[in-house]
């Protein structure tokens, strides 16, 4: 007679490799354990579902599930017939759509393991009431010795890799589910299986390689041991993902397509694997050129602290279009307190007439994955809290968080605005965003040993360092960018870290740049910004340098001052946080004034700075001071020219039966000054004058010449009230007499007609692009008659005149060439594109009409843009 206390044999059941087997396995477990282990059945049901799903996706063989309960403990076994495919753990955030199965088993099981033998593999777990110490995390499988080929991935961004990997596995899972449901997406079953397999191999190899890297590293170089014959399978994976992306864009899968950076990263990853397996050399991710919106513009994971500490007006939003980070400069720009904006929809800062467009564009980006304004500089208006519009240039990028989510980060640069009687222009102007400079191409980079061990550099190296440091500032388009580049050179050749402190216009001290050769998560942004004031109690090394002493050699961290000084304490904290053991601090002098100080420091006690280094640092600060002073003078010139340009943009007249709107946007690539202008005013006769013009050049001289031409044209037009061609001839004569070398294009037109219509545009053109007439039903026509030669060529040449009827509700657009002209594109094609955009906007309000043209055509323009639009109609 048998033992009545012996445990019952476990219940067993086999399931086919189909998605519905996961649900059947859950029901099977509940049926077995529902009465014997009611407290553990929910957990067992969840874990068996995850393991069966893994077997369906990755083993694709018959699945055997056994369930048993002994002494209150539950043991579940999930077996398949693919012993070579052992579990592949992946580090995934809690909300990831895939990759959680093994993590859940780790988290919830009391014990677990893998058994392989013969032609089977079994993954098992055990649950006990009250739990038990959990096992260590799953280890990724190591490739068999001698069976792998090495593939080196240089400069892998951790956050971007995590996001790309998650999306790759989601796409493959969705394809598998669609195929199981009988939907034909154009992927043969054998290709889908090969794609799954090689994707798992890549994930396992990267996971194994990451185990040897510091967790806080943002950029890694990894060596993967891949099968030597994996190239064809990787190409199959590439093709399968392309098909899946297309299906996702067509909304045939329950996932969104990848964003541009993720797609570009996968392209690079697959190219590196297939290329190196075929004998090619590694190419770093950071040096591969890409389209706007997909490049490595930000090499570090997104961090709210980076936004808040920045001096560039910056705002960040999540995939739900909610604001998640704002810094002070952008809050000042739009009239909000930064904390009040957190959690609000991004449309809070978008004018009402553009909100539908923003929502449509944002939704289109998520649904299609196609960038339209990502990585581009776009002129558009922001909405101030008081209701006025703030013209800005928007530069939008996508970034990845450390756990793989996507964040959209926008930098806003104020631009000149058409003045309005009810609005005032913001006076604050931010610094230009720092450019991330990619390292040169290389194979797997070696760990450098730190600064030079020699006390004194050889003459050639010394000269090279001085030359490259000066060139870094002179070649940069912005002071912050130049100091960042110079700091990188100093930390590569001379020091472990450096800091630059500068006096501001109001005599405050601002730390504008801190660069470390190996930051490894150090919060460098937190160390930048306004410092405590330089006071009479400040006696520390930085205070002495800012007063003109130095170069000063520091062989130990600065000591606490008596009496205490906030500036000295702040400088001492800098040394403590960056672990400096020796340093040199020297004043920056320009035009017989102290403008700031440079600190270079080393952390290695074996290679300290010495007295022999002081002459080199003294030469360096001379070069830096000259570069800083030149950059500030250039910036001052730009600011003067921009203020001049702003002051010259006119207030448009208020004419009851006419709609008038204008926009001005400076070049996205040059100084914010140029010769483009527009004007409109009402003559004593009642006619409305319309003017657009462009003086040759993009500098202060062009802005001055533009202001003089504009003033002369106004005076001649109002005083004489003559036909347009006569006014332009007189303007040309005056220009030729006063400014013989100045050339310009210009259109002068008069809109004639009573309030109730009809209306005519009488106009003459001096070499300018023809006006565009867009009727209310979307028909467009360029008004090409009335064209003559440029101003400044020959004032005696006759000038033609043209008259064109303007129907009610039609829009006449005057514009400068920056709106349409692009390199490597014919003018005819550019004008066709303008006509298509205008036709699509024919019935939109004039503000929408103008803003949409700037957004659609003015992004990345390397020329200034001015547009003036007029639309006659019944009195409002």
Tell me what pLDDT residue 630 has: 84
Whether 401 and 317 have beta carbons less than 8 Å apart is answered as no
Contact 41, 72 (CB under 8 A): no
- For residue 68, being part of any structural domain is answered with yes
H or E element in which residue 181 lies: none
Q: Which band of pLDDT confidence, cut at 50, 70 and 90, is reported for residue 90?
A: low
Residues 743 and 609 in one domain: no
Q: Give the pLDDT confidence of 836-849 residue by residue, as tens digits.
A: 999 999 999 999 99
User: Are both 54 and 157 inside the same structural domain?
Assistant: no
Identify the top-confidence range among 16-25, 700-709, 851-860: 16-25
Q: Which of 21-30, 618-627, 698-707, 787-796 has the highest mean pLDDT?
A: 21-30
Domain shared by 333 and 200, yes or no: no
Same domain? For 347 and 238 the reply is no
- Residue 682 pLDDT: 94
What was the pLDDT predicted at 128? Answer: 87
What pLDDT is recorded for position 787?
92
> In terms of domains, do 653 and 569 share one?
no
pLDDT of residue 419: 53
Report the range out of 258-267, 362-371, 423-432, 714-723 with the highest average pLDDT: 714-723
For 314, 331, 434, 665, the CA distances from 310, given in Å and listed in that order, are 8, 12, 10, 24
Q: Specify if 26 maps to a domain.
A: yes
pLDDT tens digits along 417-453: 555 444 333 332 233 333 333 333 333 333 333 343 3
pLDDT at 702 exceeding the cut of 60: yes
Which one is predicted more confidently, 741 or 851? 851
Q: Examine residue 824 and state whether it is found in any structural domain, yes or no.
A: yes
Q: Is residue 432 one of the residues assigned to a domain? A: no
Query: What pTM value is reported for the model?
Result: 0.60
Q: Could you report the per-residue pLDDT of 673-688, keeping only the tens digit for each?
A: 667 889 999 999 999 9
Same domain, 219 and 308: no
CA nearest neighbour of 88 among 143, 151, 160: 143
Q: In terms of domains, do 382 and 495 share one? A: no
Same domain, 567 and 699: no
Please tell me the distance from the alpha carbon of residue 168 to that of residue 157, in angstroms, as a whole number: 16
- Same domain flag for 237 and 320: no
Average pLDDT value for the chain: 82
Question: Domain range spanning residue 333?
Answer: 304-414
Q: What is the pLDDT of residue 453?
A: 37
Q: Look at residue 447 in the predicted model and tell me its pLDDT.
A: 32
Percent residues over pLDDT 90 in the chain? 28
Among residues 96, 127, 158, which one ends one of the domains? 127
Distance CA 598, CA 567 (A): 15
Write the DSSP assignment of 3-20 as a string of letters.
Answer: -TTSPPPPEEEEE-SSTH
How many domains does one find in the chain? 5
In order, the DSSP letters of 849-864 are HHHHHHHHH-TT-SS-
What pLDDT is recorded for position 367? 77
Q: Which residue has the higher pLDDT, 167 or 305?
A: 167
Is the same domain home to 659 and 790? yes
Is residue 133 a part of any domain in this protein? no
What DSSP string describes 437-503?
Answer: PPPPP-SSPPPP--S-SSSS--HHHHHHHHHHHHHHHHT-SSHHHHHHHHHHHHHHHT-SEEEEEEE
pLDDT tens-place string over residues 493-534: 888 999 999 998 888 899 988 999 887 767 777 788 888 888
Residue 835 binned pLDDT confidence (cut-offs 50, 70, 90): very high
Q: For residue 533, give the CATH number of its domain.
A: 3.30.450.40
- Report pLDDT for 782: 96
- pLDDT bucket at 1, cuts 50 / 70 / 90: very low
* Lowest pLDDT segment from 362-371, 714-723, 854-863: 362-371
* 404 plus 535 within the same structural domain: no
Most confident range, picked from 66-70, 366-370, 696-700: 66-70
In a domain, 720, yes or no: yes
Those residues whose C-beta lies under 8 Å from the C-beta of residue 136, and which sit 6 or more positions away, are none
Structural domain includes residue 139:
no
CATH number of the domain enclosing 385: 3.30.450.20
Domain at 82, CATH number? 3.30.565.10
pLDDT in tens, 174-207: 888 888 878 888 899 899 989 988 998 898 888 8
Mean pLDDT of 797-802: 91
Domain assignment of residue 6, yes or no: no
pLDDT band at 107 (very low <50, low <70, confident <90, very high): confident
* Residues 216 and 320 placed together within one structural domain of the fold: no
């Amino acid at each position: 007679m048998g033992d009545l206390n012996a445990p019952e044999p476990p219940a067993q059941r086999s399931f086919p490799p189909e998605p519905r087997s996961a649900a059947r396995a859950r029901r099977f477990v509940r049926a077995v354990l529902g009465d014997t282990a009611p407290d553990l059945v929910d957990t067992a049901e969840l874990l068996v579902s995850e393991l069966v799903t893994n077997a369906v996706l990755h083993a694709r063989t018959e699945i055997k599930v056994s369930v048993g309960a002994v002494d209150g403990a539950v043991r579940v076994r999930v077996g398949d017939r693919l012993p070579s495919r052992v579990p592949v753990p992946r580090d995934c955030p809690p909300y990831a759509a895939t990759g959680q199965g093994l993590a859940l088993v780790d988290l919830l099981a009391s014990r677990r393991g893998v058994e392989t033998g013969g032609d089977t593999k079994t993954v098992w777990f055990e649950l006990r009431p009250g739990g038990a110490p959990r096992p260590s995390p799953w280890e990724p499988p190591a490739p068999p010795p001698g069976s792998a080929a090495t593939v080196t991935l240089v400069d892998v961004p951790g956050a971007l890799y995590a996001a790309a990997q998650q999306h790759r596995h989601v796409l493959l899972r969705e394809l598998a589910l669609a195929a199981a449901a009988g939907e034909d997406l154009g992927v043969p079953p054998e290709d889908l299986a090969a794609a799954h397999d090689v994707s798992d191999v890549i994930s396992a190899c990267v996971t194994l390689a990451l185990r040897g890297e510091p967790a806080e590293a943002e950029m890694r170089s990894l060596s993967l041991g891949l099968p030597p014959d994996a190239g064809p399978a990787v190409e199959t994976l590439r093709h399968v993902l392309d098909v899946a992306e297309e299906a996702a864009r067509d909304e045939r899968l329950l996932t969104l397509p990848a964003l541009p950076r993720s797609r570009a990263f996968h392209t690079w990853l697959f190219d590196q694997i297939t290329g190196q397996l075929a004998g090619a050399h590694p190419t770093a991710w950071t040096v591969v050129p890409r389209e706007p919106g997909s490049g490595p513009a930000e090499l570090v994971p997104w961090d709210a602290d980076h936004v808040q500490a920045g001096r560039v007006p910056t705002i960040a939003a999540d995939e739900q279009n909610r604001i998640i980070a704002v810094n002070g400069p952008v809050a000042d720009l739009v009239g909000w307190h930064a904390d009040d904006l957190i959690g609000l929809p991004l449309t809070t800062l978008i004018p009402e007439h553009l909100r539908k467009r923003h929502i449509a564009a944002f939704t289109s980006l998520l649904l299609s994955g196609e960038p339209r304004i990502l990585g581009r500089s776009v002129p558009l208006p922001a909405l101030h809290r008081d209701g006025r519009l703030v013209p800005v240039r928007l530069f939008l990028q996508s970034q990845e968080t450390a756990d793989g989510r996507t964040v959209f980060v926008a930098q806003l640069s104020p631009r000149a605005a058409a003045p309005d009687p009810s609005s005032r222009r913001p006076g604050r102007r931010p610094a230009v965003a720092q450019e991330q400079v990619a390292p040169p191409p290389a194979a797997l980079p070696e760990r450098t040993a730190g600064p030079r061990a020699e006390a004194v550099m050889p003459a050639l190296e010394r000269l090279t360092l001085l030359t490259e440091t000066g060139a870094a500032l002179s070649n940069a388009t912005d002071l912050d960018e130049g100091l960042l580049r110079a700091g990188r050179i100093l930390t590569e050749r001379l020091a472990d870290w450096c800091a630059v402190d500068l006096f501001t216009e109001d005599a405050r001290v601002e730390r504008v740049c801190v660069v470390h050769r190996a930051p490894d998560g150090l919060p460098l942004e937190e160390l930048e910004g306004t410092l405590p004031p330089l006071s009479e109690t400040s006696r520390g090394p930085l205070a002495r340098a800012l007063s003109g002493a130095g170069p000063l050699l520091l062989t130990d961290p600065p000591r606490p001052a008596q009496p205490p000084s906030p500036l000295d304490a702040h400088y001492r904290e800098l040394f403590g946080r960056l672990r400096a053991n020796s340093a040199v601090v020297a004043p920056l002098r320009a035009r017989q004034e102290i403008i700031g100080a440079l600190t270079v420091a080393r952390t290695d006690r074996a290679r300290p700075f010495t007295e022999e280094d002081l002459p080199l640092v003294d030469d360096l600060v001379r070069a830096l001071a000259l570069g800083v002073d030149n950059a500030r003078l250039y910036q001052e010139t730009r600011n003067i020219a921009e203020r001049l340009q702003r002051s010259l943009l006119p207030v448009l007249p208020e004419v009851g039966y006419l709609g008038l709107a204008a926009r001005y946007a400076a070049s996205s690539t040059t100084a914010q000054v140029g010769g483009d202008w527009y004007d409109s005013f009402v003559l004593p006769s009642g006619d409305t004058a319309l003017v657009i013009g462009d003086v040759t050049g993009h500098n202060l001289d062009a802005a001055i010449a533009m202001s003089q031409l504009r003033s002369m044209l106004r005076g001649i037009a109002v005083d004489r009230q003559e036909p347009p061609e006569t006014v332009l001839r007189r303007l040309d004569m005056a220009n030729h007499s006063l400014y013989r070398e100045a050339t310009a294009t210009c259109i002068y037109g008069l809109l004639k007609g009573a309030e109730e219509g009809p209306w005519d545009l009488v106009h003459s053109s001096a070499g300018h692009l023809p006006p565009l007439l867009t009727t209310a039903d979307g028909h467009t026509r360029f008004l090409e008659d009335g064209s003559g030669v440029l101003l400044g060529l020959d004032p005696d040449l006759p000038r033609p005149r043209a008259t064109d009827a303007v129907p009610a509700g039609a829009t006449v657009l005057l514009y400068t060439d920056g709106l349409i002209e692009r390199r490597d594109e014919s003018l005819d094609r550019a004008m066709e594109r303008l006509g298509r955009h205008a036709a699509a906007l024919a019935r939109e309000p004039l503000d929408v009409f103008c803003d949409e043209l700037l957004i659609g055509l003015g992004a990345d323009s390397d020329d200034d843009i001015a547009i003036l639009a007029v639309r006659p109609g019944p009195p409002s």
